Amino acid sequence: MAEWNLWHGCHKLSAGCQNCYVYRMDSYYDRDSSQVRKTKNFDLPIRKDRHGNYKIKAGEVLYTCFTSDFFVEDADEWRKEAWDMIRERSDVFFFMITKRIDRFMDCIPEDWGEGYENVQICCTVENQDRADHRLPIYKKAPIRHKQIVCEPLLGKIDLSEYLDDSIELLLAGGESGTKARTCDYEWILDLRRQAMEKDVPFFFKQTGSFLKKDGKIYRIARKEQHRQAKKAGINYKREHLLF
Ligand code: SF4
């Protein structure tokens, strides 16, 4: 999995940010996460080797902006250059997750149209309040590849108004870290039920550190969180999808 962290740092915005992974990691190195800065990997997608070939090969997926938010205000002056690189590398797929979908229409390039085919923009929502704020905007947004990410899931969410066949995946998961908030397995199962009703693929990515199931709270080690979610066997694919 290749990551492209073109800028680093962010500002906490909503309940899902409380135990932000970027802030947790930076605290080990005494770095201020609220100072957003360009990284040395800013031009990664267009770097070439000594033979003139791109170092990032055609067909690769670049997980973009995983130590910030692509639409964070501080990066406004750098984003045009980022879009230029994304356009130049139409043979690479760019995958990003945002909590700032309300800034999306002000941040897209002039030739965006109905969206670039090589860009997936996922909208993350952690509770009903943020779902009802972000998803009406997301629903209208011209984006070719959409995914809703409920992680860290902090409560039961009714997504019935927002799930349709434009959503390629609904992903859910708990929160990691020693200060993580408990995720209730019933909330996960409820999202799965909603996804299945609308025939939207569903993926239970990870349990988080504390999972409540049948009235009992389980503490789950980091290395077990993905494995336990997989073991639950509740992922759902559309019948006609061949993956
Ligand atoms: S938007 Fe994402 S990167 Fe920014 S503070 Fe919140 S959780 Fe962290």
> Which residue's CA is the nearest one to ligand 1's atom 5?
12
Q: Which of 114, 109, 53 is nearest to 86 (CA)?
A: 109
Instruction: Answer yes or no: is pLDDT of 9 > 80.
Output: yes
- Asked if residues 83 and 29 have their Cβ atoms less than 8 Å apart, the reply is no
Same domain as 208, residue 121 = no
Q: How far is CA 1 from CA 63, 83, 136, 204, in A?
A: 7, 21, 31, 19
Same domain as 131, residue 156 = no
| Whether residue 20 has its Cβ less than 6 Å from ligand 1 | yes
Atom nearest to 68 CA in ligand 1: 3
Same domain as 107, residue 7 = yes
For a ligand 1 pocket test, name from 69, 101, 121, 150 the mutation site with the most ligand atoms within 8 angstroms of its C-beta: 69
- Asked if residues 168 and 132 have their Cβ atoms less than 8 Å apart, the reply is no
Same domain as 184, residue 138 = no
Instruction: Answer yes or no: is pLDDT of 240 > 80.
Output: no
Number of domains in the chain: 2
| Whether residue 100 has its Cβ less than 6 Å from ligand 1 | no
Instruction: Answer yes or no: is pLDDT of 241 > 80.
Output: no
Q: Which residues contact 107 (CB under 8 A, 6 or more apart)?
A: 71, 76, 79
| Whether residue 38 has its Cβ less than 6 Å from ligand 1 | no
Same domain as 127, residue 220 = no
Give the per-residue pLDDT at 1.
Answer: 78
Same domain as 94, residue 214 = no
Burial class, 117, CB count within 10 angstroms (exposed 0-12 / middle 13-18 / buried 19+): exposed
pLDDT band at 243 (very low <50, low <70, confident <90, very high): very low
Same domain as 162, residue 73 = no
Give the domain extent around 227.
151-243
The three-point CA angle 50-55-56 to 5° equals 165
Same domain as 165, residue 50 = no
Same domain as 115, residue 9 = yes
Give the per-residue pLDDT at 239.
Answer: 65
Instruction: Give 22 Cα–ligand 1 centroid separation in angstroms.
Output: 7
Residues in a beta bridge with 149? 124, 171
Residue with tokens 């205000």: 73
- Asked if residues 128 and 162 have their Cβ atoms less than 8 Å apart, the reply is no
Same domain as 117, residue 158 = no
- In this prediction, residues 215-239 reach a mean pLDDT of 95
210-213 and 145-150 beta bridge pairing? unpaired
Same domain as 8, residue 46 = yes
Instruction: Answer yes or no: is pLDDT of 146 > 80.
Output: yes
> Model confidence over 171-219: pLDDT tens digits?
999 999 999 999 999 999 999 999 999 999 999 999 999 999 999 999 9
Domain final position from 123, 142, 161: 142
